[in-house]
């Protein structure tokens, strides 16, 4: 069962634009809410209303996150963990909103501007609340996000090759990426063969013929890999990086199945 990450980012801005001594400028901006973040690229927007009698420009600094720049800003969360995000001037999200000449928007008179936000994909940081403070020429505003635990998984095929009646082994790699500190269990179901169980799996071949095989979690081919959490699954703790797990497959000797190609499909279940 895969749980979904809910990530809400609130982008609040009350800003007085740079102004000459003889003019008064102001900007108000709606909150920017990114909504739910599940590890993929996520966009958000905020609309600013500029009130100004003359010309204006709106600089935006790098924020307070350690190592942050004007192009990659960082919110800080539990234990100093960081969540990267970006702010752009255009809807295509190609023109960065910075704090130096040429990287900040300029204009004249009353108008509206849009802040285009983006949370970078593939971040598996520690779950919790993340915050940052950004500064303009005359004011500061906050950015916040809530990260909850989530995981992603992929796997390579397990190919036994040619079976001639003698025992044959092969392996597959399951790659799991979970938010840092998130505990998870990886289970393998029984497959698609008629009558199969997690301890008695079979590949299906010509005329529905079956070829028995087993899946193990250890290189000694003694610990069955099943589907019940706490009984026969594999438990790990995420560290924010991809963690490989090896599946050890075995076709026992002495199986005289009909010649042909045999296949099965196993579902990988990550519980966290």
Which residue reads 């906050």 in tokens?
Answer: 142
Backbone φ, ψ for residue 207 (5° rounding): 60, 30
pLDDT at residue 18, rounded to an integer: 41
Backbone φ, ψ for residue 206 (5° rounding): -60, 135
C-alpha distances out from residue 199 to 8, 61, 216, 238, Å: 43, 59, 10, 27
CATH class (in words) of the domain with range 151-271: mainly beta
Q: What confidence tier does 22 reach under pLDDT thresholds 50, 70, 90?
A: very low
pLDDT at residue 137, rounded to an integer: 74
pLDDT at residue 31, rounded to an integer: 77
pLDDT at residue 115, rounded to an integer: 85
Q: What confidence tier does 23 reach under pLDDT thresholds 50, 70, 90?
A: low
Question: Is the model's pLDDT at 92 over the cut of 70?
Answer: yes
Question: Is the model's pLDDT at 183 over the cut of 50?
Answer: yes
Q: Are the C-beta atoms of residues 68 and 142 closer than 8 Å to each other?
A: no
- What is the C-alpha separation between 236 and 242, in angstroms, rounded? 12
- What is the C-alpha separation between 158 and 90, in angstroms, rounded? 46
The correct CATH number of 9-147 out of 2.60.40, 2.60.120, 1.25.40, 1.10.1060 is 2.60.40
Average pLDDT of the chain to the nearest whole number: 88
Could you give the strand order of the β-sheet that contains 268-271, starting from the edge strand earlier in sequence? 234-237, 183-188, 268-271
> What value does the mean pLDDT take over residues 17-36?
67
Q: What confidence tier does 41 reach under pLDDT thresholds 50, 70, 90?
A: confident
First-residue to last-residue Cα distance in the chain: 8
Question: Is the model's pLDDT at 50 over the cut of 60?
Answer: yes
Share of the chain above pLDDT 70, in %: 92
> Where exactly does CATH 2.60.40.1090 map onto the chain?
151-271
pTM of this structure = 0.81
- What is the C-alpha separation between 170 and 132, in angstroms, rounded? 49
Question: Is the model's pLDDT at 146 over the cut of 80?
Answer: yes
- Residues 165-201 as b/e (b if ≥16 CB within 10 A, e otherwise) read eeebeeebebebbbbbbbebbbbbbbbebeebebeeb
pLDDT at residue 15, rounded to an integer: 33
pLDDT at residue 159, rounded to an integer: 98
Which of the two residues, 42 and 235, has the higher pLDDT score? 235
Q: What confidence tier does 138 reach under pLDDT thresholds 50, 70, 90?
A: confident
Lowest mean pLDDT among 78-82, 117-121, 134-138, 173-177: 134-138
């Amino acid at each position: 069962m895969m749980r979904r990450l809910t990530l809400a980012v609130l982008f609040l801005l009350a800003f007085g634009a740079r102004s000459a001594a003889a003019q008064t400028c102001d900007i108000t901006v709606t909150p920017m809410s990114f909504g739910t973040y599940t590890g993929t690229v996520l966009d958000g927007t905020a609309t600013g209303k500029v009130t100004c009698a003359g010309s204006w420009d709106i600089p935006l600094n790098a924020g307070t996150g350690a190592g942050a720049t004007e192009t990659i800003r960082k919110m800080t969360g539990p234990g100093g963990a960081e969540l990267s995000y970006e702010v752009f001037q255009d809807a295509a999200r190609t023109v960065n909103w910075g704090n130096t000449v040429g990287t900040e928007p300029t204009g004249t008179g009353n108008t509206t501007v849009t802040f285009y936000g983006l949370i970078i994909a593939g971040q598996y940081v520690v779950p919790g609340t993340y915050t940052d403070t950004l500064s303009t020429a005359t004011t500061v505003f906050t950015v916040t996000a809530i990260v909850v635990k989530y995981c992603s998984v992929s796997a390579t095929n397990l190919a036994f090759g040619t079976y001639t009646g003698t025992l044959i082994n092969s392996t597959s790699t399951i790659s799991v990426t979970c938010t840092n500190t998130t505990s998870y269990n990886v289970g393998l179901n029984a497959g698609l063969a008629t009558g199969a169980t997690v301890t008695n799996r079979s590949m299906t071949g010509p005329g529905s013929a079956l070829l028995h095989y087993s899946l193990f979690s250890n290189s000694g081919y003694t610990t069955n890999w099943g589907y019940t959490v706490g009984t026969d699954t594999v438990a790990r703790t995420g560290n924010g990086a991809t963690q490989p797990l090896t599946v050890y497959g075995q076709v026992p000797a002495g199986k005289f199945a009909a010649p042909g190609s045999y296949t099965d499909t196993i579902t990988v279940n990550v519980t966290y």
